[in-house]
Amino acid sequence: MADTVRNLVIVGSGPAGWTAAIYAARASIDPVVYVGVPKQDPGPILPGGQLMLTTEVENYPGFPEGIAGPEMMGKFQAQAERFGTKVVGEDITRCDFSKDGSAPHVLHTSSGAEVHAHAVIIATGATANWLGLESEMRLATAGGGVSACAVCDGALPVFRDQELAVVGGGDTAMEEATYLTKFASTVHLIHRRDKLRASKVMQERFLSKPNAKVHWNKQVVDCLSDGKEGMNEKIRAVVLEDTQTGERSELVVKGLFVAIGHTPATKFLKDSGLEFDDAGYLALRSRHSATNIDGVFAAGDIADGEYRQAITAAGMGCQAALDAERWLGGKGLV
């Protein structure tokens, strides 16, 4: 493959990556998608992104009855492949970008191969930060009521009028907890300290809700299930530990939302020359998907620390493909 220069390589296989592939393939750019391989870091990272941990997606247009996240990503991939997208089940582990776009970019794969590409779209997303509990991850992957996105999952019928818990103390946790107050009977905010890190206005917005309750100096050390097996297993309570006394107690809940931030999947971009913003996300130029390196574009959650939704990621994937097509056309390459 090193002897062949690809027009476009897309790194990542979530909504942004597959949408970029669909647009690029239909434009006869012959894209290649490196989907990655499953890993733990410490929570699961799967080809297909965060939606692979979402059992039901109800807020993506076109699916009035909802759709399981993995099924949705399967449909995205099938549509991209229908138009000729080549799919490779490897990671990109390192990038040697041509700084001015005068030479092909060189990408290194997990098998030790080199891939040369005129244009590259980075769409590896951002992974939710998890507590690292075995029970937490088991329930999250089984659709058992543990989630890292309240805006994605909180309105599902299973959570309505139920006791729900949110872990965190920053602005993200306040936003998630406030959103859940629309649906839950009580939202229990669990924070390991006696003071929140969130901005004052975000704190007040949550604390002013009549169904908001804060558990100070507490941390979740285990998730207890209803004892059912497989995809039928659901959370019934969390075990809380007092961070000052060590005393443990159970809090009965029907849902646990972990809101302790996200980490952009950028490890493989170390020393690549790409610029990042203060939060570690890829920095983009103006409204477009272009990065600071000519011929390298970014889409989805790796460049979006604010919305992190499937539909916004897909929209960014469309932009990146169109920008890449125009860039390649301007170079006389397509």
Do 175 and 306 meet the contact criterion of CB atoms below 8 Å apart?
no
The pLDDT, as a whole number, for residue 230 is 75
**Residue holding tokens 């229908």?**
82
In Å, how far are 90, 93, 113, 117, 328 from 3, measured between CA atoms?
19, 19, 11, 11, 19
The pLDDT, as a whole number, for residue 52 is 85
Residue 20, pLDDT above cutoff 90: yes
State pLDDT tens for residues 116-165: 999 999 999 998 899 999 999 899 888 899 999 998 899 999 999 999 99
Q: Between 9 and 286, whose confidence is greater?
A: 9
Q: Between 315 and 50, whose confidence is greater?
A: 315
State pLDDT tens for residues 42-73: 556 778 888 887 778 888 999 999 998 899 99
pLDDT tier at 227, thresholds 50, 70, 90: confident
The pLDDT, as a whole number, for residue 58 is 87
List active site positions.
149, 152-153
Residue type, 238: V
Q: Between 96 and 334, whose confidence is greater?
A: 96
The pLDDT, as a whole number, for residue 1 is 42
Compute the distance between CA of residue 118 and CA of residue 135 in angstroms, rounded to an integer: 44
State pLDDT tens for residues 266-286: 999 999 999 999 989 999 987
Domain ranges, ordered by start, for the chain = 5-127+262-330, 130-258
pLDDT tier at 100, thresholds 50, 70, 90: confident
Residue 287, pLDDT above cutoff 80: no
pLDDT tier at 223, thresholds 50, 70, 90: very high
Residue 188, pLDDT above cutoff 70: yes
pLDDT tier at 167, thresholds 50, 70, 90: very high
Q: What number does CATH give the domain 5-127+262-330?
A: 3.50.50.60
The pLDDT, as a whole number, for residue 3 is 61
Do 33 and 321 meet the contact criterion of CB atoms below 8 Å apart?
no
Q: Between 68 and 24, whose confidence is greater?
A: 24
Instruction: Return the number of other C-beta atoms located less than 10 Å from residue 122's C-beta.
Output: 31
Stretch 165-192: mean pLDDT: 96
The pLDDT, as a whole number, for residue 41 is 65
Q: Is the dihedral of CA 216, 220, 221, 223 positive or negative?
A: positive
H-assigned helices in the chain? 15-26, 69-82, 134-141, 150-153, 171-180, 200-207, 310-330
Average pLDDT, the chain: 93
The pLDDT, as a whole number, for residue 266 is 93
Report domain 130-258's class. alpha beta
Stretch 88-101: mean pLDDT: 90
Residue 200, pLDDT above cutoff 80: yes
Residue 195, pLDDT above cutoff 60: yes
The pLDDT, as a whole number, for residue 42 is 57
Stretch 6-32: mean pLDDT: 97
pLDDT tier at 314, thresholds 50, 70, 90: very high
